[in-house]
Amino acid sequence: MKALFLTNEYPPNVYGGAGVHVDYLSRELAKAMPIEVRCFGNQKLEKGNLSVTGFELDASQFNCPQPLRSVFGAIRRCTDFNTANIDADLVHCHTWYSHFGGILAKINYGIPLVITVHSLEPLRPWKREQLGGGYDFTVWLEKTALEMADAVIAVSAQTKADVERLFKVRADRLHVIYNGIDLEEYRKLDSAAALVRYGVTPERPFLLFVGRITRQKGIVHLVRAIEFMDTDFQIVLCAGAPDTPEIGVEMKEAVEKMKTKRAGIIWIDAMVDKQTVRELYSHAAVFCCPSIYEPFGIINLEAMACETAVVATAVGGIKEVVVDGKTGFLVPIDQMEESPFEPRDPEKFARDLAGRINQLIANPELCAKFGRAGRKRAEEKFGWPAIAAQTKLLYEQLLVSD
C-alpha cells in the first residue's frame, strides 16, 4: 500500500500547523509503508519509504491581480502534480491548495481521495483580504473536494461538527483523528540561548505568543490586551509572516502604541527555527493563544509538551486540547456574526484575556502545576505513533471497501 500526499507546505517551507502535521505524519507513516509527498517548492528527498518532490512555479507571465496569483499558482501546481505519473493506491490532500490535485487524481487515476481538514474556508472570511475574489473560488473548491472525498479526516470533534454543519459529507466517510506532537522533540529544555539572543531576560517571567500575523490567530487582540496586563513580567511576541501588508502595518502600529505605555515588550518579527521555539516555550511562564478560529491549535500542544501553562480562547479544537483549570485557562470570546474575526465587545475580551494571564503569572506554583498536567496530557493523548496507526488503518479500510 502506497499513499501520495499532496500539500502546499513541507519542510523547509512550513509556516503553519498543517505543514507541521504533514511533516510528522508523513515521516511516521513511512516507518510502516511507502509515502510519496508532492509539495510546493524545490524539495527533493529520498529516505527509506519516504520520497518528497517539490514542484516549482514560474509565475513570470502572470498578469492577473496580485491576490489571485496564489490561487492560480496552486491550480497550476495541482495540475503538475498529476501530469507526473501517479502510482499510489490513494491520494491524501492537506489544505485547499492541494484539493484540485486530489480531485484530478481521484477522477483520472481512479484512486480513493482522503482529505484532512486543517481549517474550513467558510469559517475564515477574513481570507478575502488576502485573496480577493479568489476566496470565493477556494470556498467552492473545498466544498467540491470534501463532498466527493472517500474519507474526510477532521483534526478535532469540533471540526467534525463544523463539517457536518457546512457540507454534505456522508457520516460513514467522516472521521476524527487528532493532530499530534513529537514528544521527544517537544519537551522542556534548560538551554536559553534564544532568550539571550532576542533580548529576553531569563530571570524574569514572560508571556509568550508564537504564530503568524493573521486574523485567525488573534494576535492584534492580544497586543490590545497588553494595556490591561500587570507590568512586572515581559511580553514576547514571536510573530511574523503577515497574511497581508495591511495586517502587518496594523500589527506594527499596535505594538508601537503599547510600547509607549509599557516596558518589556519584545517583538521577534520572524518565523524562527524549532530550537528557538522550544527554548521560548520551555522558559515562558505562560503561553497565550488568542485565536478567534482554530480547528485544533497545535501551538497549544507544543507549549504543553514543554510544560508551559496555557491561556487560550475557548474556540474550536482548542477546547479539546487545553483543559480549563487543569492545563491552563480558556477564555470565552463572543464573536460578531457579521464580522467573526472581531469580538462583540473588544475591551471585555482584552480584559478577560489579560485577567487570566495576570492570575497565572502571579502564581508560579499554579503555572508549574498546569505545566506538569499539560505534559502528561500530551503524552497520554497526542503522540504521533498512535495517530499514524489510526491513519494507516483508515487507508486499509478504504482500499478493502474499494
Domains of the chain are 3-180+383-401 (3.40.50.2000), 193-381 (3.40.50.2000)
Q: Using one digit for the tens of pLDDT, what is the confidence trace for 292-344?
A: 988 888 999 999 999 999 999 999 899 999 999 999 999 999 876 666 667 88
pTM above 0.95, yes or no: no
Percent of the chain residues past pLDDT 70, beyond the cut: 98
* Residue 376 grid coordinates: 502528561
* Residue 44 grid coordinates: 527533493
- Helix 134-148 vs helix 66-83: angle between axes, to the nearest 10 degrees? 30
- Bridge partners of 10, per DSSP, are 13
In 3D space, the residue among 83, 23, 89, 94 whose CA is nearest the CA of residue 55 turns out to be: 83
Mean model confidence pLDDT for the chain: 94
Per-residue pLDDT band at 402 (split at 50, 70, 90): low
Cα distances (Å, whole numbers) of residue 141 to 92, 145, 156:
16, 6, 22
Peptide bond connecting 242 to the previous residue in cis, omega within 30 degrees of 0: no
The sheet carrying 309-313 orders its strands as 265-268, 234-240, 206-212, 286-289, 309-313, 328-331
pLDDT of residue 17: 84
Return the SS3 of 55.
strand
- Bridge partners of 54, per DSSP, are 39
* Residue 112 grid coordinates: 480513493
| CB neighbour list of residue 363: distance below 8 Å, 6 or more residues apart | none
Average pLDDT of the residues in 130-147: 95
Q: Using one digit for the tens of pLDDT, what is the confidence trace for 344-393?
A: 888 999 999 999 999 999 999 999 999 999 999 999 999 999 999 999 99
Q: Using one digit for the tens of pLDDT, what is the confidence trace for 13-61?
A: 988 889 999 999 999 999 999 999 999 999 999 999 999 999 999 999 9
Inform me whether the pLDDT recorded for 261 exceeds 70: yes
pLDDT of residue 310: 98
Q: Using one digit for the tens of pLDDT, what is the confidence trace for 73-108?
A: 999 999 999 999 999 999 999 999 999 999 999 999
Q: Using one digit for the tens of pLDDT, what is the confidence trace for 150-181?
A: 999 999 999 999 999 999 999 999 999 999 99
pLDDT of residue 5: 98
Calpha distance 66→243 (Å, rounded): 13
Average pLDDT of the residues in 233-248: 91
Per DSSP, the residues of 271-307 read: ---HHHHHHHHHH-SEEEE--S--SS-HHHHHHHHTT
Up-side HSE of residue 47: CA atoms within 13 Å toward CB? 11
- Bridge partners of 312, per DSSP, are 289, 330
3-state SS string for 320-342: HHCCECCCEEEECCCECCCCCCC
Location of C-alpha cell 502534480 = 81
Percent of the chain residues past pLDDT 90, beyond the cut: 83
Sign of CA dihedral 340, 346, 348, 351: positive
* Residue 197 grid coordinates: 539572543
